[in-house]
Structures are given as structure tokens and as C-alpha cells.
Amino acid sequence: MTERTVLITGAATGIGMALAQRLDREGWKVFAGVNRSTPEALVENSSDRLVVIPINVTDRDQIGRALAIVEQAVGERGLDLLIHNAAMTGAPGPLEFVDIDQFKFLMDVNLWGPLRLTQTFLPLLRRSGAARIVNVTSTSVYLTIPLGGAYPISKSAYRALSNHMRMELAPFGIDVTALEPGGVKTPMTGFEEEEERLCWQTIPEGMREEYQRRFEFPAAALSEGFEFESPDSFADKVYRQIVCARKFKPVYVIGKGVAFMPWMHRLLPLTVLERIFKKLFRMKA
């Protein structure tokens, strides 16, 4: 095999599918990890180089089987690029009542999943000689989202994991970066009334009104407050800025109208940021 090789998780939808197809068009051998289903669009709009592999990032046995499939295809050539794209939202509601089991599952997918996969695929990445890892975190790490803390907390932990991974793997010649997306129109960013219902449902009746008097459900503010671009346009930026980079920067913030977020976070004191978030999320006290 002479092509460069990449494994992308969560490739059945959104950013993952757009990245898989973009890299496929650029001549890469793409291993597309899918969780619950394989949409026809993924296969129909790709070359027959692309290989679809079931990968639930919480399932160690399935990850082991995925390793065997990729290893058989790449052999001694190794794997050049691993893109940890799979993630979920969920565990809605205030920290006072958030379901800790749901929160743990979210961490299992968003934090332990990429670590589990990295540990499994490192021997194959080492064989490449110039391997790279992209950790897809989120610009939500710059926000404090009342009633929606689980997802940004998981991504903040993952951002820290990415920094540590970068330091520990650099001496082995493996380059690691964190990609912080924002404002990409995908199934994850659609405002769902069902999510809002679940959020209020986590709060026991005696306290629900107390919360509703003080907070609005944050997803609507997020949907209205951000501009969105298509996954294809986003994947094009990722390809040009990250995949084609000679050497990775530690972090890439990519997406419509999100470039200011790290600067805002660096320059403003937390008390000022909190006033902005209270206004953005329409807190009433």
C-alpha cells in the first residue's frame, strides 16, 4: 500500500463523514469508523478505497476487532493519521440534579473513548514513522453553559488530555493536536425540543419552577447566537489548515465566527466572562 492512511471515528454523520470523504477525494486510504449505522451517502460518495468499520469507542472488544482489520490492510506501513471525531452530547440539566450515570457515559464516549482508541492504535501509529493524532474537542471549552455543563466539562477534560498526549508522544515522533470546532451545521448542533424536555425533566417537580424562574434552556441561545457552516466547508478548512500542515500547532480553532473565543477567554477576567454568559444564556438573576 502506498497511499497515506487515516482512521476517523464517528464518520457516519456530520464532520466525520465530511472529513472521511474529503480525505478519500485527496487519495487517502480512509478507515471510516461508524457506530449505530452506515448511511448510504458515506459509501456512495466515496471511492472503493474507503473501508467502513464498526467502532463504538466505548467497546474495547470492537476496538480490538477494528485494530485487526486496519492492521491487516496497512501491514508494516502502519497508520499515518488518527482522527478522534466521535462524541455525543447528553446528560442535560443542572449539576444539582444531573444524572451521574448519564454523565459517566458521556465521559466514556468523549474522554475515555479517544484514550482507549489511542492506546490500542499506538503500535500501528508508531510503524508509520510520521504519525499524527487529531483530538476533536470543542470551542465550548471557552463557555460556561448553565444547565448544560456535562458536554463542555467532558471536552475541557479532553482538551487537557490532548495537551498531555502531545507532550508524551512528541519524543516518539507522533504529532498531536486539538481541533476545536464551532458553528458547523450537523445533527449535534440542531436545537431539539426533546433535549429541552429532558433537561427540565431531570429536575424534581418541587424545584423545577425555581430553576425555570432563573434559567432558560441554553441550546436555543447557542443556536441563535452562532453562525453555521456546512460540514463540507468545515472539512475543507481542516484539510488545508491541519492535514496539510508540515507541523501541528497545539490547538486549532476552526469554524464560523469562533476565532475570537480563545482571545476572549485569555483577555477577560472570569467575572466579566460570567456577566457575558449570564446575558448570552438569558439568566434571570
Ligand X SMILES: NC(=O)c1ccc[n+]([C@@H]2O[C@H](COP(=O)([O-])OP(=O)(O)OC[C@H]3O[C@@H](n4cnc5c(N)ncnc54)[C@H](OP(=O)(O)O)[C@@H]3O)[C@@H](O)[C@H]2O)c1
Q: Dihedrals φ, ψ of 133, to 5°?
A: -130, 130
Q: Which residue's CB comes closest to ligand X?
A: 14
Q: Which is nearer to ligand X, 203 or 238 (CB)?
A: 238
Q: Which is nearer to ligand X, 93 or 255 (CB)?
A: 255
Cβ 256 to ligand X shortest distance, Å: 9
Active-site option among 151, 158, 211, 252: 151
Residues between 25 and 84 that touch ligand X (CB under 6 A): 35-37, 55-58
Q: Which is nearer to ligand X, 87 or 111 (CB)?
A: 87
Q: Dihedrals φ, ψ of 173, to 5°?
A: 80, 15
Which of 38, 45, 189, 233 is in the footprint of ligand X by CB under 6 A? 189
Cβ 184 to ligand X shortest distance, Å: 4
Cβ 209 to ligand X shortest distance, Å: 32
Residues between 74 and 103 that touch ligand X (CB under 6 A): 85-88
Considering the rule CB under 6 A, would residue 148 count as an interface residue with ligand X?
no
Q: Which is nearer to ligand X, 146 or 183 (CB)?
A: 183
- The string of DSSP codes covering the chain is --S-EEEESSTTSHHHHHHHHHHHHTT-EEEEEESS---HHHHHTS-TT-EEEE--TT-HHHHHHHHHHHHHHHGGG---EEEE--------S-TTT--HHHHHHHHIIIIIHHHHHHHHHHHHHHHHSS-EEEEE--GGGG---TT--HHHHHHHHHHHHHHHHHHHHGGGT-EEEEEEEESB-SGGGS--HHHHHHHHHTS-HHHHHHHHHH---HHHHHHHHS--B-HHHHHHHHIIIIIT-SS--SEEEEETT-THHHHHHHHS-HHHHHHHHHHHTT---
Q: Which is nearer to ligand X, 15 or 79 (CB)?
A: 15
Cβ 167 to ligand X shortest distance, Å: 22
Query: For residue 258, how many other CB atoms are within 10 A of its CB?
Result: 19
**Cβ proximity of 243 and 27 under 8 Å:** no
Residue 252 is among the residues annotated as catalytic for this protein: no
Q: Which is nearer to ligand X, 122 or 188 (CB)?
A: 188
Which of 183, 199, 202, 252 is in the footprint of ligand X by CB under 6 A? 183
Considering the rule CB under 6 A, would residue 161 count as an interface residue with ligand X?
no
Q: How many residues bind to ligand X according to rule CB under 6 A? A: 30
Residues that bind ligand X (CB under 6 A): 9-10, 12-16, 35-37, 55-58, 85-88, 109, 136, 138-139, 181-184, 186-189
Catalytic positions, written as ranges:
151
